Chains A and B, each alone.
Chain A
Amino acid sequence: MYQYTNFDRQFIAARNTQFRQQVARRIDGSLTEEEFRPLRLMNGVYLQLHAYMLRVAIPYGTLSSAQMRQLAIIADKWDKGYGHFTTRQNIQFNWPRLIDVPDILDALAEVDLHAIQTSGNTIRNITSDHFAGATSDEVEDPRIISEIIRQWSTDHPEFQFLPRKFKIAVTGCATDRAVIKAHDIGLQATRRDGVIGYQVFVGGGLGRTPVIGKLLCDFLPKQDLLPYLESILSVYNTSGRRDNKYKARIKILVNALGIDNFRDQVEARFSSIRKTFASPDGSFIDNITSQFSPPDFTDRSVSPFEESYQTNPMFKQWVDRNTAQHKHEDYRIVTVSLKEPGQTPGDATSEQMQVLADLAESFSFDELRISHEQNIVLPHVHKADLPLLYNTLKKHRLATANIGLISDIIACPGMDYCSLATARSIPVAKEISTHFDENNMEQDTGEVKIKVSGCINACGHHHVAHIGVLGLNRAGVENYQITLGGDATENTAIGDRAGPGFSQSEVVPAIERILGTYHKLRHDAEESFINTYKRVGITPFKSALYPAAKQSR
């Protein structure tokens, strides 16, 4: 993992001191709310329905045990004993008091964490593949360039007041677990003639205008990465719209100019800045790279694992569902589900955070990852340790074997917390997960990605869900639109809107009809929901969703 330098620590400390003074000046009346609001947002402090909310960046989703423990301590000391992991690999605390935030930020700084650029029209937390450094199909650990981009983008003087927020995601392999084409910039490491470079996608995004990112550059050499990113941001900063916040994201500019014209402008800017741009030199990159070196994997017998796998069906089910192939054959990547049916997706109690920190320290080389799907990953677990790990997780309600299944739902906080939301997300997610768990439909149905957003801003990623649920307000009543056929993988697709929305109580029956249709139409249990949908299209699902409309035709 990357270790903060003195420069990093001094920068965070200076920012924290500055913000402490800004809070004091707001409280003593020297700053008005209008003046203070952008300052608090630059430091991740929002005002939500019930209280302030503090959003803490987890760079490229990577945490150490010490960092996770500190998050648990913060949850206990200044919040209500839990935290909410988000779809952009951040954690949000829902109940901090403004007067406590400076102390919370100092506590975060003790473990090299901060909340800078988790809000505002600037470059946000760089997100990445939560299997980085562990998966077998990687061209390069994506955290290396994620960290380089983090350093370049943090407090970048030119990009603190962009037309709108800006999100960058990185994957190190062809398999996309970071939804890169739904980001303003998506980067994918690739190899050409033995040399590592990057495919660059631009103008992707969800929200009210969902767009799949377009290929801007097929192979960007590593040494050109930062000046090229700087060129993209520079063109956007200059030409992006500032007159209408709904048309201010880079996707609108790319669509308006056309990708070829946009590319020409980026290339022109790139040509002019490349020679003078102070790119990080080889030793700097080597230093960052070395900090993401693989841990020292050990050779031990895996017989404890094999014995449990043969004799304990619950353990076997959990292994098959929640662990993935690791690049070392004796290890597995473990995904710990934060989606126990009936619970709030992405929430972890302070006790669970402490347990996960202990487990990471004992069994995963001190590393944890936060996935954009709101689960926790222990990236390097020796198979021999899996039985003990599983039993410990079970004691703390963390052993739900549902990764990729119906109840592994992404859900934004929705109108239970968020001041922008138009409907609640969490109760809908809880009802769906509880219903299908009680009806034992999950295992037989197999992989289905359900994602719930509480407003058009789409923090719940509903556009790229196999079954997306979008909560809206229709004449003062919550109403939920369903989209079908979205895909968050390398085959990125925006879901098709099925038709008129449903009341909250109608959502579970509607999903039941969708899944019933899938069960009827699939070739066999091997054909997944999304593959069946791609084969048969939306029509039979619409007929099932709206039987009265079918009869009237």
Chain B
Amino acid sequence: MTEFSNKQIITGNTLLSGEAVFLSGDDTFGPDLFNAQIFTDDVSANHALSQCIERSDEIISPYLVSVDVQNSVIRPQELREQIRTAGPSNYFHGKQTEIR
């Protein structure tokens, strides 16, 4: 069952490796989507995003991504973001190899 109806997370790529990462509740960026902090209103999401933009020594071009959450599983709504969170579909590369 869907727990929220209008949810967003913050994502970006790390400066050093370029890896796609997600802002978590402890204010750190990490590679695991399931740790991502879910924002349920635009005001708090945009406020957090503006703070992330200041962290350009760590994260490149952070932005908001709309997600669905079902049974605590986070899933981006757009295919592009689903691919970013999993890895390419032609090889077993990227995050899909590290899903814990």
**Does B28 have its Cβ within 8 Å of any Cβ on chain A?**
no
Which chain B residues numbered 30 to 64 have a C-beta less than 8 Å away from chain A? Answer: 56-57, 60-61
Complexed CA–CA distance, A49 and B16 (Å): 15
CB pair A47 B60 closer than 8 Å: yes
CB pair B60 A33 closer than 8 Å: yes
**Does B90 have its Cβ within 8 Å of any Cβ on chain A?**
yes
**Does A302 have its Cβ within 8 Å of any Cβ on chain B?**
no
CB pair A426 B89 closer than 8 Å: yes
CB pair A430 B16 closer than 8 Å: no
CB pair A33 B56 closer than 8 Å: yes
Q: Which of B15, B60, B84 contacts A49 (CB 8 A)?
A: B84
Complexed CA–CA distance, A478 and B61 (Å): 25
Complexed CA–CA distance, A26 and B17 (Å): 13
CB pair A427 B18 closer than 8 Å: no
**What B residues does A415 contact at CB under 8 A?**
79-80, 83
Most buried by A among B57, B87, B90, B94: B90
CB pair B13 A416 closer than 8 Å: no
Q: How far is the CB of A99 from chain B (nearest CB, A)?
A: 5
**Does B77 have its Cβ within 8 Å of any Cβ on chain A?**
yes
Q: Which of B20, B61, B77 contacts A476 (CB 8 A)?
A: B77
CB pair B90 A344 closer than 8 Å: yes
**Does A95 have its Cβ within 8 Å of any Cβ on chain B?**
yes
CB pair A47 B80 closer than 8 Å: no
- Given the contacts A33-B61, A427-B89, A26 and B15 also touching, CB distance less than 8 Å: yes
**Does A97 have its Cβ within 8 Å of any Cβ on chain B?**
yes
A-B contact count (CB 8 A): 71
**What B residues does A80 contact at CB under 8 A?**
91, 93
Q: How far is the CB of A55 from chain B (nearest CB, A)?
A: 14
CB pair B77 A416 closer than 8 Å: no
Interface size class for chain A?
Answer: 20 to 34
Which chain A residues numbered 419 to 456 have a C-beta less than 8 Å away from chain B? Answer: 421, 424, 426-427, 430
Q: How far is the CB of A320 from chain B (nearest CB, A)?
A: 30
Which chain A residues numbered 12 to 35 have a C-beta less than 8 Å away from chain B? Answer: 26-27, 29, 32-33
Q: How far is the CB of B93 from chain A (nearest CB, A)?
A: 6
Q: Which of A95, A96, A97, A430 contacts B93 (CB 8 A)?
A: A95
- Given the contacts A49-B83, A50-B94, A476-B79, A29 and B57 also touching, CB distance less than 8 Å: yes
Residue of B nearest to A478 (CB): B79
- Given the contacts A26-B15, A33-B56, A49-B80, A416 and B20 also touching, CB distance less than 8 Å: no
CB pair A430 B90 closer than 8 Å: yes
**Does B26 have its Cβ within 8 Å of any Cβ on chain A?**
no
**What A residues does B79 contact at CB under 8 A?**
415, 473, 476-478
**What A residues does B16 contact at CB under 8 A?**
27, 97-99
Complexed CA–CA distance, A473 and B20 (Å): 22
Complexed CA–CA distance, A424 and B94 (Å): 16
Scan B68-92; emit 1 where CB is below 8 A from any A CB, else 0: 0000000001111001100111110
CB pair B13 A47 closer than 8 Å: yes
Complexed CA–CA distance, A95 and B57 (Å): 20
CB pair A416 B19 closer than 8 Å: no
Q: How far is the CB of A28 from chain B (nearest CB, A)?
A: 9
CB pair B78 A424 closer than 8 Å: no
CB pair A476 B89 closer than 8 Å: no
Q: Which of B15, B18, B60, B88 contacts A416 (CB 8 A)?
A: B88
CB pair B56 A427 closer than 8 Å: no
Q: How far is the CB of A488 from chain B (nearest CB, A)?
A: 24
Complexed CA–CA distance, A421 and B88 (Å): 13
Q: Which of A27, A32, A52, A424 contacts B18 (CB 8 A)?
A: A52
Scan A469-484; emit 1 where CB is below 8 A from any B CB, else 0: 0000100111000000
Q: How far is the CB of B10 from chain A (nearest CB, A)?
A: 16
Q: How far is the CB of B31 from chain A (nearest CB, A)?
A: 11
Q: How far is the CB of B59 from chain A (nearest CB, A)?
A: 9
Complexed CA–CA distance, A421 and B60 (Å): 19
Residue of B nearest to A429 (CB): B90
CB pair A97 B18 closer than 8 Å: yes
**What B residues does A424 contact at CB under 8 A?**
83, 89
Q: Which of B15, B20, B57, B61 contacts A50 (CB 8 A)?
A: B20
CB pair A50 B87 closer than 8 Å: yes
**Does A174 have its Cβ within 8 Å of any Cβ on chain B?**
no
CB pair A51 B19 closer than 8 Å: yes
Q: How far is the CB of B32 from chain A (nearest CB, A)?
A: 15
Complexed CA–CA distance, A98 and B93 (Å): 18
CB pair A51 B89 closer than 8 Å: no
**What A residues does B18 contact at CB under 8 A?**
47-48, 50-52, 96-98
Q: How far is the CB of B90 from chain A (nearest CB, A)?
A: 5
**What B residues does A421 contact at CB under 8 A?**
80
Complexed CA–CA distance, A95 and B15 (Å): 13
**What B residues does A477 contact at CB under 8 A?**
79
- Given the contacts A415-B83, A476-B77, A476-B78, A27 and B15 also touching, CB distance less than 8 Å: yes
**What A residues does B94 contact at CB under 8 A?**
50
Query: Which residues of A line the B interface, CB within 8 A?
Result: 26-27, 29, 32-33, 47-52, 80, 95-99, 344, 415-417, 421, 424, 426-427, 430, 473, 476-478
User: Can you list 8 A-B contacts with CB-CB less than 8 angstroms, sorted by A residue number?
Assistant: A27-B16, A51-B17, A95-B93, A97-B18, A415-B83, A426-B90, A430-B90, A477-B79
The 6 closest A-B pairs by CB, nearest first: A416-B88, A52-B18, A51-B18, A97-B17, A426-B90, A344-B90
Query: Which residues of B line the A interface, CB within 8 A?
Result: 13, 15-20, 56-57, 60-61, 77-80, 83-84, 87-91, 93-95
Known pairs A51-B13, A80-B91, A416-B83 / 11 extra A-B pairs, C-beta < 8 Å: A50-B19, A50-B88, A52-B18, A97-B16, A97-B17, A98-B16, A99-B17, A344-B90, A417-B88, A426-B89, A426-B90
